[in-house]
Amino acid sequence: MSPVKPGCTGTISSTLIFAVLILAVVFGVILLVQSKKKQAAQWPRTRGRVIQSQLYWGTDSDGKPSQEVALTYEYVVANLTLRSTRVKFGFAPNPHQTVQKYPVGAEVQVFYNPAKPSEAVLEP
C-alpha cells in the first residue's frame, strides 16, 4: 500500500462531500416533481381549449439549437378565464408529439390547483 500524500485526503473528502450534496439536490428535485405529479392527479378538472400550439427554434442548456413548443391553453375556473402553458410537471414532453396531440382549437382536460387556479397542467 502506498502512503497517502499530504493534502490529498482533504481534496478527496471535499470532492466526495460535493458529490453527495449534488446527488441530494437532484434526488430532492425528483421527489418534489413526483409529489407535484401526485397532487395534480387529485386536482379538480375543467375543460379548456388550446389557443396556441407551434414549434419554434430555441437553444438547449448547452446553447445548441433545439426545437421547442409554444403551447397555450385557456380554461375557466369560478367564472375567471385563465391561461397556462404547462403540459406537465418534470421534463418537457417531445415537442413534435405535443404539437400533434394538442393542435390549436383542441378541447382539453385541464387539471388545476384549487388553492391557486392559475397553476394548471394537461398531464398530471
pLDDT in tens, the chain (124 residues): 555 555 555 677 888 777 777 776 665 666 665 667 788 899 999 999 999 999 999 888 899 999 999 999 999 999 999 999 999 988 777 999 999 999 999 999 999 999 999 999 999 9
How open is the CA angle 40-101-44, to the nearest 5 degrees? 25
Per-residue pLDDT at 31: 62
Query: Which domains are present in the chain?
Result: 43-121 (2.40.50)
Q: Strand pairing of 80-84 and 65-77?
A: antiparallel
119 in Cβ contact with 113 (< 8 Å):
yes
